Structure 1
């Protein structure tokens, strides 16, 4: 019942039942305590579990190997080094065996705590005693490899080799460690050495190395291993092809990507929506409408539905080349999806509508972004530009005020848009305040900034000669020139 309560998350009832057990039904035994220790650890109550461990000893019950291992593993995963070492001393005094699972967990604890010397001494203790299996060697390699300690991982690998316990698992975790450590040549050399010692590479070996190389912008090398993987009959889906194709497109090598895609089809490997998404996004970034649409059509022929990522790529493409109808249709598809439109796709549509002065459509999307509290500096800046362009200055001023209040003035373009608006509406005070904010934020003014400020000064009656002197001064001596502009605007 205690175990049942604990597994159902009713820890309080389990503890109460334990207390009643002592009062009415007899003395709890080691097994009972072990259940409570385990349940409390599962519920992340390690200190309470330790109290039950101490209480068990107080009741003159000997904690068994399960008691120690359960608590020791909890300490190791939480990097409670002092407590873990205390338990190890007790286990050594009682000559209790530390299992492999706990041993590798302790190695990882030391590694993750930055205690490399202790981790190595701990590992060597079991290695020299010959008490480590192949699985345990791989866990120790991984403990070092995941943290980027490649040399330490290599040392464990060599130890495993000395004991003649190397299997494909050790090779796989060592290849992974080389990938994390960016030792790409070593990863390839290790993979190539497997065959020499009679270890057959499995699907994980190939997939790991291909992913490592593709992520390191080495798709040409990755492609050679992908070919070997295909020849070994280990390619069951398009995932490894997708990784390499993505790497080629990232480098702008579209011909190589498409060549590999055709090769994949030749092996009767079916593409999925992700691989189509890679091509669509790549060609969208390049502004290649025909090629992107070609993959959209292929995807539809294959009976695969689009997803928000693909729709966002298409909107990016359509807005870039000005395809209004196609962009609107795609945006509607995103609106119907569970995720809804992203900020990026919404901003793309606002940008497209702004260019075409389609005020109501742009306003509708902008208001939706504001309602959901996701509108950003770009969203506001586009609306400001549109209102300014069509002469609706009151609404443009309102947007500018909101941008300043929300802290949405962070780059030169936004500042210039606002200053240009204030110049157009002859708002000296607001322009002066904005210019001061700009200088204080560290954004450097450019020629457009000074043209907007010059127009304001001219509209306020300052002579062309005086403005000209200010323009010359800021070019010759920027610090003193900025002070002169500030003084003139005040």
Structure 2
């Protein structure tokens, strides 16, 4: 093969490697019909010097998803039992190119053939369904995942919480956050930040502040994205004084603002909606 198994395969190298694999398949096709499967597999391995790890590396290097799926169908099912990394590579490619339904079919095929799958494969599909705003299908797949014994993690819930927030389904999003805790799945900083950002964008800054308080009580330090969301929320309400207060607290607590944080403040300050005659109060309760 033209690459190390741990290296990065470029499109050109991948095309050359794919040609070698096709030669290997052709060589297997011209052996006598009575040759048993183990001999055919040995001939294929000898002719193409490929294993499951190299196959996965090659798949990552191919430029077109149809090439990847074609290679998988031509080789994977015949000569290997693909591992979770190989199948995950294909599922990831299918989801990123808008072929989520094909990814779902691949998972079903994996399970029918008793190939190993994992929560990562389910997470990629759930995330892709959420990005396509197919909320009902995402939750159906989520239920199916749990029914089959796969324990969701914070990544699973974050995708679902985000799509609910973007659909203004705050009660359901909060219910999911509580469900995470009840399942003893610790929400991470992103879990809280998703809700803070979404609430601030629709003017529910008081509710966002409550989320930040819960976050701090659970020893999750707000990050730059969290603080920037709050700053944006106050600017949208024409409360530049409180927005600046959040920035000061952010710096005081050792969190460095980024260019986005400052851009929010600059845009807020120059907006006609901003007022500066607000009382000097903390942007969230001190209790």
TM-score normalized by the length of structure 1: 0.46
8 Å CA contact 1:140, 1:156 repeated in 2: no
CA distance in 2: counterparts of 1:298 and 1:173, whole angstroms:
37
> Which ranges of structure 1 fall in alignment gaps of 5 or more residues?
1-68, 74-99, 359-490
1:2-401 pair list within 5 angstroms: 73=3, 101=5, 108-109=9-10, 112-113=11-12, 116=15, 118-127=16-25, 128=28, 129-131=43-45, 132-144=50-62, 147=63, 149-158=64-73, 159-231=75-147, 234-235=150-151, 237-323=153-239, 326-336=242-252, 337-340=254-257, 342-348=261-267, 350-351=269-270, 355-356=274-275
Shift of 1:265: 2.5
Shift of 1:299: 1.3
8 Å CA contact 1:311, 1:331 repeated in 2: yes
CA distance in 2: counterparts of 1:273 and 1:249, whole angstroms:
16
CA distance in 1: counterparts of 2:131 and 2:77, whole angstroms:
29
- Matched positions, count: 253
Larger radius of gyration: 1
Task: Determine helix, strand or coil for the equivalent of 1:271.
Answer: coil
CA distance in 1: counterparts of 2:267 and 2:220, whole angstroms:
25
Cα deviation 1:452-476 (Å, max 9, x = unaligned)? xxxxxxxxxxxxxxxxxxxxxxxxx
8 Å CA contact 1:175, 1:187 repeated in 2: yes
Shift of 1:338: 4.6
Higher RCO structure, 1 or 2 (CA under 8 Å, sep 6+): 2
8 Å CA contact 2:199, 2:208 repeated in 1: yes
CA distance in 1: counterparts of 2:112 and 2:249, whole angstroms:
54
Task: Determine helix, strand or coil for the equivalent of 1:182.
Answer: coil
Cα deviation 1:118-155 (Å, max 9, x = unaligned)? 453222134444113222222222222xx3x1211111
8 Å CA contact 1:315, 1:348 repeated in 2: no
Q: 1:236–1:249: structure 2 CA closer, same or farther, 3 Å change rule?
A: closer
RMSD, aligned α-carbons: 3.1
CA distance in 2: counterparts of 1:255 and 1:338, whole angstroms:
30
CA distance in 2: counterparts of 1:283 and 1:311, whole angstroms:
13
CA distance in 1: counterparts of 2:14 and 2:77, whole angstroms:
25
Shift of 1:115: 8.2
Question: Which is richer in helix?
Answer: 1
Shift of 1:267: 1.2
Q: 1:260–1:130: structure 2 CA closer, same or farther, 3 Å change rule?
A: same
